[in-house]
Each structure stands twice: as C-alpha cells, then as structure tokens.
Amino acid sequence: MDKIFVANLDDIKTDTLLSKNINGHKVLLSKIKGQLCAVENRCPHLGLPLAKGEVCDGAVVCPFHGSSFDLLSGANVDWTNAFFGMPMPGWTHKLIALGKSPAALKTYKLECEGEQVFIHL
C-alpha cells in the first residue's frame, strides 16, 4: 500500500469537499466532526463524480440522482431519490436506480505528519 502526500492540513475544510487526483485515483477529502476523511470521487450508482455534491449531516449527496454516502464510513445513506437535484416521489426511486442496488463508497486511510496529510492507496 502506497503512502502519498495528498494535501496540507489547512486545505481540508469542515463539511467541504476537496477533490484530488493522485496517481490516477480520484478522491474527495473532507473534515467531518473534526475527523479527516477520504472517499473515492465516483458514485457507485453510475460511476459519476461526486465532487459537486453537497455535504449534509456528514454525508455527500450525489448531484445526479440524490444518493448519499456517509463521508466517514462510506456507508450508503440514501439511494436514487432525486433527478439532478429535484426530489422525486418514492415510486420512481427504483426506476432511477436502473437496476443497481445500493452500495457503499470506497474509503481511504489518511495519516497526518505535522501539517501534511498522506493517503494510503
């Protein structure tokens, strides 16, 4: 497992997403409840980027179909409940899912050395 510099500690803000491409790995960094976290910048629904999603209650909300994922654990919180930011009625959620089952986001381990943050890939 490679340990690679990813950002300075000051660059990672609370409830905000910082997008990085590290050796071809697209990741999102954030700070939730004082804890640093890193997840894959790829929604498990259709593989689209999550970087423009909002952070709400410690979860990133996919800007495409509203699935949300806990940024600390990667766990799926909600699945395909919207269409480009517009909430959709419950009966449409399975249609929007296009046959894909809820899945978690990949998470990465981070490590601080002084003011520098490293990711384990």
Positions in the binding site for ligand FES (CB under 6 A): 43, 45-46, 48, 62, 64-65, 67, 80
Q: Are 118 and 4 in contact (CB under 8 A)?
A: yes
Q: Which is nearer to ligand FES, 28 or 117 (CB)?
A: 28
Scan for tokens 């990813």, then name that residue. 6
Shortest distance (Å) from residue 8 CB to ligand FES: 29
Shortest distance (Å) from residue 119 CB to ligand FES: 23
Instruction: Give the residue among 102, 98, 108 at the shortest CA–CA distance from 72.
Output: 108
Compute CA distances 12 → 55, 112, 115, 116, whole Å. 13, 12, 11, 11
Q: Which is nearer to ligand FES, 12 or 43 (CB)?
A: 43
Q: Which is nearer to ligand FES, 30 or 81 (CB)?
A: 81
Shortest distance (Å) from residue 32 CB to ligand FES: 19
The partner residues of 61 in beta bridges, in order of sequence, read 54, 68
Shortest distance (Å) from residue 61 CB to ligand FES: 9
